Amino acid sequence: MIRHAAVPILILAAFLSIGASDRRSGYDDASPETRAMQDDDAANPAFLWVKQGEALWSGGCANCHGDVSLMRGVAARYPAFDLKRDRLMTVEQRINLCRTDHMAAPAYAWDDDRLLALSALVGLQSRGMPLAARPREPFMSEGAALFRERMGQLNMSCAQCHEERAGQRLAGSTIPEGHPNGYPEYRLEWQGMGSLYRRLRNCLNGVRAEVFTPDSREAASLALFLTVRANGMIVETPAVRP
């Protein structure tokens, strides 16, 4: 259940807090070694998942969608509203619906490497393009409210870290602004790929809060807010982060 009614003024506050020209990608705060790893597709470990995604695409998705290059620009517009289902959807949810509705196949589990592989492959087609998610209501305001809600036993909000203290240090690492322009991404901390939902789940666990389920309205609304907050920033999928 969404914890707040729509609060449109929070949307304006999001853009006033970090000016568009001042926003920093997590790439900007990474070490030279990590940036070099992301810049070189041959050294970027996320491309192991991309290769798996290519095999999965040609083994089924291409029958409906053709060459994966036709997906250029798609990931830059997600999360997006699905009129038929009257709900906000992420790329991962769209992939799973394609499987269940058109391939008579079961949905992948949220952290399944195959789902990460396909979403990384689709995201790669938009690499270098600006994020351009539509700020649809009431999801945008609900996501903005969640971003600023103090949660969990530590009584902390996303904004306290990723706006008020962005650029400071925590446990030896720079606190990023929290822009989702590289997901799914390879994190050295995880030694593997992860979705934006995995990052949200880890943050909620970190403040000892109730975790949203991956298919929840809360998770999708927060993902939309974060993406619109980053609109205009360049898609880096699949990024590499510490």
Q: Write out residues in the chain with pLDDT < 50, as ranges.
A: 1-7, 9, 16-17
Q: How far is CA 49 from the centre of its chain?
A: 16
Q: Give the pLDDT of residue 171.
A: 80
Q: How many CB atoms lie within 10 A of CB 31?
A: 12
pLDDT on residue 180: 97
Q: What pLDDT, on a 0 to 100 scale, did the predictor assign at position 7?
A: 45
pTM of the model: 0.90
Q: What is the pLDDT at residue 170? A: 85
The pLDDT value given to residue 20: 57
Q: What is the pLDDT of residue 227?
A: 98
pLDDT at residue number 54: 98
Q: Tell me the domains of the chain and their CATH numbers.
A: 9-241 (1.10.760.10)
**Kind of pairing between the strands at 87-89 and 169-170:** unpaired
Return the active site residues: 203
- Give the position of tokens 């609304």: 221
The predicted structure's pLDDT at residue 4: 43
How far is residue 15 from each of residues 12, 22, 63, 174, measured CA to CA in Å? 5, 11, 41, 21
Closest CA to 226 of 187, 166, 177, 189: 177
